[in-house]
Structure formats: structure tokens, C-alpha cells
Amino acid sequence: MAVGIFDSGLGGLTVLDAVRARLPDLPLVYLGDNANAPYGVRTADDIHDLTVAGVRRLYDAGCDLVVLACNTAAAAALRRMQEGGEVPPGKRVLGVFVPLIEALAERSWGDNSPPREVAVQHVALFATPATVATRAFQRELAFRAIGVDVEAQACGGVVDAIEDGDMILARDLVRSHVEALLRKMPAPDAAVLGCTHYPLIADAFREALGPGVRVIEQPAIVAEALADYLSRRPEFAGAGGGATFLTTGNPARVSERASRFLGQTITFEAA
């Protein structure tokens, strides 16, 4: 038994890398739906259907627990899957969105106390157009914190550029999107990178935002939340370590790009 990590493409590798560092003995199966990436410009129904298909593929690969390492999938599909009975008995699906919000709201996992004031008051959210459209971030944050002003910026084109390996274009787009956000919210306290692709160019966000803005990335936060979850639900943790990489796209092409992004050799197989 392994823990599955699902993403629309390469972004979830940032989460997998952090999970392997935090839980080196945890066996993992990664599935990138590269044939259908990016999800950020798709409709909610498309995202839901593709996410369900990806999660089922990971169940078939022996994963009882799947982490949606894609904010767009987590925002658009996770709650619908859980409430619609699409998670079979004995299986679990977790998303990367809630751990991020819990960190921002200074809460531990499972803290269901009433919303309260937190240190940050002005938050910039950078995410895909589809994630922004769901308003899932604002909804989940409101359950946990009060008095927080959120300004969301839909970062069209950034994921496409990263997936295509055009980091120059990705950085140019980041600067443009940050400038657009700062025109709406000139002095954010914190900036949330609400896409698991964005840590690959987090330095571009930091440079554009300036030194006074706390930039919050997901990988380490999600890895710590997963470690906490498995400490309480050890039946979902296998043993033996190692990782298998699956893709709906071209395995050779995806392997080359993934290896370049993470600076280590990664070999994908056809899903």
C-alpha cells in the first residue's frame, strides 16, 4: 500500500519532494494528468471528472489515501467528491488547500473552534483562474478566521509556461500578475501561492512583491499535515519507501521536464 499524490501536471512534484523529505519511509505513487493539463482554465465539471478519474487510477495502483496536490482540483472537486459518495469505504482523499489555510489562520489540523482574529489582515492570493473562480480559499478561510481581507489574482498562463519549460515567460507573467494585484491591494501582509506549480518560481514572486511581504508556499506545510494525519491514521501509511511516477502524457517528455525542474532524475511510466 502506498500514498497517492495526484496533480494535473508537474506542480504536485513540489509536494512529493517535500513529503519524501519529511517521510522518507513512506511509499508513494505520483500521477500527473499531463495529457489534460492545465486544469486552471477548465470548467468545474471538467475538473471534477478528470480528478475522479485520476483518483480512481491511484486506487487501482494500491493507494488507499490520495492527496490532491493540485489546488484547482482540491478547490473544484474535493468537497463534491466527498459529499457525492465518490470516495469508496476504506479510502480517503485529502486536499492541499486546507493545510495552507490552517497555517495562515494559525490552526492545527482538525481545530474546529469558532473563527477568530489572526495576525495577518491583508492577504494576496495567487492562483489559477479556475481556483480563483471557486472562491474556495475565501470560504474555507472564513470558517477559521475573521477580519482578513483577501485579494485574489488569477494568474493566467503561468502554469502553461512552467509545463512548457519556458521559465523566462513564467517569470515575466508572475511580475505582471503581481503588479496587477498590488494595484488592487498595495500593501499585503502575506501572499499565498495557491498553486503547487508556483514554488518552482517562488523567488520571482518574492522579488516582485518585495521584502515586506511574507510569501506562503504549500509543499512543506502539506508534508507536515500529512505526517500529522498518518500519525493518527497509521493504517493508511505503507512501508518501504520509494516512489512510482505515472503520467497520462508522453512518459519520455514528462520525465525530461520533471527531472529538469526538480534537479534529479525522475522516470515516468504510462498510467
Whether the per-residue pLDDT at 262 is higher than 90: the answer is no
Long-range contacts, 109-116 (Cβ 8 Å, 24+): 109/225, 109/228, 109/229, 111/144, 115/142, 115/143, 115/144, 115/145, 115/146, 116/144, 116/145, 116/146
Instruction: Check pLDDT > 90 for residue 63.
Output: yes
CA dist 154 → 80, 161, 222, 267 (Å): 22, 15, 22, 32
Question: What pLDDT does residue 112 have?
Answer: 80
- In the three-class reduction of DSSP (H, G, I as helix; E, B as strand; rest coil), residue 65 is classed as strand
Confidence of residue 108 (pLDDT cuts 50, 70, 90): confident
pLDDT at 15 over 70: yes
* Mean pLDDT, rounded, of the chain: 94
- What structural domains and CATH numbers belong to the chain? 2-98+219-270 (3.40.50.1860), 104-216 (3.40.50.1860)
Question: What is the per-residue pLDDT for 51?
Answer: 98
Distance CA 269, CA 271 (A): 6
pTM, rounded to two decimals: 0.93
Q: Is the pLDDT of residue 241 over 90?
A: no
Task: Give the model's pLDDT for residue 109.
Answer: 66
Residue 152: pLDDT over 80? yes
Q: What is the pLDDT of residue 215?
A: 96
Calculate mean pLDDT across residues 18-30. Answer: 97
For residue 147, pLDDT over 80 is answered with yes
Mean pLDDT for 211-216 is: 95
* Active site residues per annotation: 70, 195
pLDDT of residue 240: 85
